[in-house]
Structure 1
Amino acid sequence: MFAQILLITGGGPSGATRPLIQYIYEVGFTQNNLGYAATMSYALFVILLALSIIQLKHQRMGGE
């Protein structure tokens, strides 16, 4: 999804259509702030991991 949004809108008006992954990329490689980009990446990983665990537990209970 990163490439499609970048090619079509370039981030849109004032970054309105810019996904989090694109923002992390821009901070890390365009602004040369790799530490902050790495921190955001770890935070995104923890959030996605938590959501995945919740979804797996919900599916094992029968999906109700």
Structure 2
Amino acid sequence: MSEPSAPKPVKLIVSLISGDENIIASVAGKLSQVYGGIDFMSKLIRFNKTDYYEAELGKSLVRRFVTFEKLVE
């Protein structure tokens, strides 16, 4: 049998979706204050393969992936 152990630190990957690019930039900045510097930020990607989030977030959504230098536990 295996023995439980503490998890190892891992890379935090965040997917931000909004109809407003400024909100994505603002949230990414606030997350970097908590999780450390951003070491990768994807280009803005049109999020148009589903209308699942339209009622809550509106139309013309974009997505951006962000990762951080500091690992999380």
Q: TM-score, normalised on structure 2?
A: 0.29
RCO (CA 8 Å, sep 6+): is it higher in 1 or 2? 2
Which has a greater percent of strand? 2
Q: TM-score, normalised on structure 1?
A: 0.33
